[in-house]
Structure formats: C-alpha cells, structure tokens
C-alpha cells in the first residue's frame, strides 16, 4: 500500500516537476531558492493529502498550497535563511540569451508586485484560470482577486512596456 | 499544457495581456527531477511525520492531564463527600416540630436576646410615646413609625 502510494506520488512529481518549479519561481518573483522551499513545502503536504487528492486533482492541490503560501509570504519575517561562507552560484556573464534575458525581465517585474498581486497575475496568465478559480485558489472573494490581477497587470504594463510592444 | 492554449478563451484580454501570457509560458525552462530533490522530499516527509506524531502525543497527554485534573477537582468525587446540610423537608411535614411552628403558644413566649428587656416592640404599640427612641436613620423594620417630636425638633 505504502509502496504503491510512493510510486504514484513519485511519478506525479517527476512528471510535473518542471511546470511546478516554473510556477513556484513566477510566484516568488524569480527567487529560485524561495521557490524551491515553497515547492518542497507544498509537495510534502501533498504526500499526506495524497490518498484524498490522488484521484482528483493533485496538481490543483499543489497550486493552491503554492499560491497561498506565496501570497502570504510577505507577512512572514523569516524564511529560514542562514548565513553561508560562500555565495551561491551567480549568473555568468555572457550566457544571456534572448530567452533568459526575457525571463529575467519578467521575473524582475513580477518581483516589484505585491505578493497577492503577483499570485493573482500568475494564476490568471500562466495557469490560465478564470477569475472565479483564481479567487478560489487564493481563498478570497472574486472581486478581490480581479482587483489584484488588474492592478498587477497595470503595474506590469508600466514595467514591461519596452519588452512587450503593444500589439495592434 | 500548451503555451497560451486557453488564452483566447478568456474574455477581455488585450494584446499586452496575451503577450504577457505567452511570455510566462515561453520562459519555462526544463528542470529535471533529480535524486537530490527526491531525497530532500523524503527527508521533509519524515520530518513532518515526526512532528505530527509529537503533536499527537502532546495532544493526547494534554487531554489525559485535563481529564485527570477534572476528576481530581470534581466536587462530588468518591473521596470527598462530606455530610452537608440536611435534605429539605417536604412542605407538609407529618410531624411538625417546635422549630417550624410559626404560631407561638402563649405558654411559651419567644425568647428574647440576652441583655434586652421583654419590652414592647414598635409593632405592638403603634402609638408610642415621645420617649421611644430610634436610631438616627430610622428603624430597620419596614414599618414606618409615626414622627416624633424629638426628631422634628432637631431639624
């Protein structure tokens, strides 16, 4: 029983790892380490909820845990960071392809939003969720979710105006 | 999920929003699920399992302590059952005793407090003489005495 559960769980995590990593990274505004911590926390919770959600929507469960944790992250003062002797790896100069540069600009712009605005925008435009599901995922009224998304997009419109040209 | 597969189905998107959605999907970089990720997940699951077990044990201990304390402090416990006041008698007692009699017989007058003379009470003699003195605030009984000349003279 436990073996079968572990096998199904591992298969799901391995199959959706890239997408979930990307979602976590967008939700944290490009902070890779925070994204890994968030995803780890969400997947550990998924393990204990697996008997309930395995047959329904495990990815929706992880998405909800991730989005809510990211949206309330600003209220947490400590992220479990510890000082280290050596700096973690930094991006090497010269390997900035167009995609990487685009992603960096997007993540930097997302990082300028409030956590709830960022979560609403990511759920709306990356997960392609309608307002009702965005609100359900964030655990807030539909109007509040719509307002967060609209304000976040308005801010991104200013920040990314030179990256995203207006399309006629 | 194809990048932007459902974008067109969402109403009210302008060009910027469609481009933003495409950009979010297009910046997805393939990240392999490595053994270190699996190990970290397993370690997280073990830690959380231990924490849950500790919480459960602490909760059970707290419940047992609360129950024990409640039983110890229970007023009708088996160890503490002191004889309290006698049970109230029924209103119509078959053998009324002298202590419950409300009509004193003339042969046995009610006892007076020590040090007081069995003089007349204000209720016995409403038309009291001016020499009858009351406390400055008036008598404690509900029966109001007639005003005396001494009290009106002080005002």
**Which residue of chain A is at minimal alpha-carbon distance from B25?**
A126
Cα–Cα distance for residue pair A65/A58, rounded to 1 Å: 11
Q: Supply angle C-alpha B39, A28, A18, rounded to 5.
A: 45
Cα–Cα distance for residue pair A7/A17, rounded to 1 Å: 15
The distance of Cα A144 from the centroid of its chain, to the nearest Å, equals: 19
DSSP, residue by residue, A69-86: HHHTGGG-S-------SS
Structure confidence at residue B120 (pLDDT):
47
A166 has pLDDT over 80? no
Least confident of A19-23, A58-62, B71-75, B142-146: B142-146
Structure confidence at residue B93 (pLDDT):
57
Least confident of A45-59, A85-99, B44-58, B64-78: A85-99
Backbone angles phi, psi at A104, to 5 degrees: -65, -40
Angle between helix axes B15-26 and A115-125 (nearest 10 degrees) is: 90
Q: Indicate yes or no: CB of B10 within 8 angstroms of CB of A130.
A: yes
CA separation, residue B115 to residues B82, B111, B123 (Å):
38, 12, 20
A44 has pLDDT over 60? yes
Structure confidence at residue B12 (pLDDT):
66
Q: Indicate yes or no: CB of A14 within 8 angstroms of CB of B21.
A: no
A88 has pLDDT over 70? no
Structure confidence at residue B26 (pLDDT):
84
Q: Indicate yes or no: CB of B17 within 8 angstroms of CB of A48.
A: no
pLDDT digits (tens, 9 = 90+) for B52-84: 999 999 999 999 999 999 998 887 655 555 566
Q: Indicate yes or no: CB of B24 within 8 angstroms of CB of A26.
A: yes
Which residues of A are less than 8 Å from B32 in CB distance?
A: 17-18
Is B73 in CB contact (< 8 Å) with chain A? no
Chain position carrying tokens 């073996």: A3
B124 has pLDDT over 50? no
Considering only residues A91 and A65, tell me which one the structure prediction assigns the higher pLDDT: A65
A134 has pLDDT over 70? yes
Structure confidence at residue B28 (pLDDT):
82
Listed by start position, the domains of chain B span: 37-75
Q: Which domains does chain A have, with CATH numbers?
A: 2-74+96-159 (1.20.140.160)
Q: Give residue A119's pLDDT band: very low, low, confident or very high (50, 70, 90).
A: very high
Provide mean pLDDT across the span B111-127. Answer: 47
A17 has pLDDT over 90? yes
Which residues of B are less than 8 Å from A19 in CB distance?
A: 1, 28
Cα–Cα distance for residue pair A159/A41, rounded to 1 Å: 31
Nearest by CB: B24 against A125, A163, A165: A125
Structure confidence at residue B67 (pLDDT):
92
**Which residue of chain A is at minimal alpha-carbon distance from B5?**
A128
Cα–Cα distance for residue pair A128/B17, rounded to 1 Å: 11
- How far does A144 lie from chain B, in Å, by closest CA? 17
pLDDT digits (tens, 9 = 90+) for B88-115: 666 665 555 555 445 554 545 555 544 4
A153 has pLDDT over 90? yes
Q: Indicate yes or no: CB of A126 within 8 angstroms of CB of B32.
A: no
Which residues of B are less than 8 Å from A130 in CB distance?
A: 10
Cα–Cα distance for residue pair A123/A23, rounded to 1 Å: 9
**Which residue of chain A is at minimal alpha-carbon distance from B10?**
A130
Spell B109-128 as b/e; 16+ CB within 10 A means b: eeeeeeeeeeeeeeeeeeeb
Which of B5, B6, B16 has the most A C-beta neighbours within 10 Å, making it the best mutation to test the interface with A? B16
- How far does A97 lie from chain B, in Å, by closest CA? 12
Name the helix (H) or strand (E) containing A138: helix A131-138
A155 has pLDDT over 80? yes
Q: Indicate yes or no: CB of B23 within 8 angstroms of CB of A102.
A: yes
Q: Would you tell me how many other CB atoms lie within 10 Å of the CB of residue A29?
A: 21
């Amino acid at each position: 029983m436990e073996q079968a559960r572990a096998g199904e769980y591992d298969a799901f995590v391995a199959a959706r790892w890239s997408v979930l990593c990307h979602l976590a990274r967008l939700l944290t505004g490009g902070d890779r380490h925070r994204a890994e911590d968030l995803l780890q926390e969400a997947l550990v919770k998924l393990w204990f909820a697996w008997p309930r959600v395995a047959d329904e929507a495990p990815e929706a469960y992880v998405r909800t845990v991730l989005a809510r944790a990211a949206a309330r992250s600003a209220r947490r003062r400590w992220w479990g960071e510890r000082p280290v002797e050596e700096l973690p790896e930094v991006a090497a100069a010269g390997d900035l392809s167009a995609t990487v540069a685009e992603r960096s600009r997007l993540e930097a712009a997302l990082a300028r939003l409030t956590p709830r605005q960022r979560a609403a925008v990511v759920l709306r435009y990356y997960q392609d969720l309608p307002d009702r599901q965005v609100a359900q995922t964030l655990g807030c009224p539909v109007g509040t979710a719509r307002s967060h998304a609209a304000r976040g997009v308005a801010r991104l419109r200013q920040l990314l105006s030179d990256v995203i040209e207006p399309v006629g | 999920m194809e990048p932007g597969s459902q974008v067109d189905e969402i109403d009210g998107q302008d060009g910027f929003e469609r481009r933003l959605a495409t950009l979010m999907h297009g910046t997805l970089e393939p990240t392999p699920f490595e053994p270190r990720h699996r190990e970290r997940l397993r370690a997280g699951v073990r830690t959380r399992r231990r924490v849950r077990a500790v919480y459960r044990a602490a909760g059970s201990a707290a419940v047992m302590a609360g129950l024990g304390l409640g039983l110890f402090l229970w007023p009708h416990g088996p160890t503490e059952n002191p004889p309290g006041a006698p049970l109230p008698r029924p209103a119509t007692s078959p053998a009324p005793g002298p202590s419950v009699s409300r009509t004193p017989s003339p042969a046995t007058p009610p006892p007076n407090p020590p040090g007081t003379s069995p003089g007349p009470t204000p209720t016995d003699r409403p038309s009291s003489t001016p020499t009858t003195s009351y406390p400055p605030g008036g008598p404690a009984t509900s029966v109001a005495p007639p005003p005396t000349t001494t009290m009106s003279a002080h005002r």
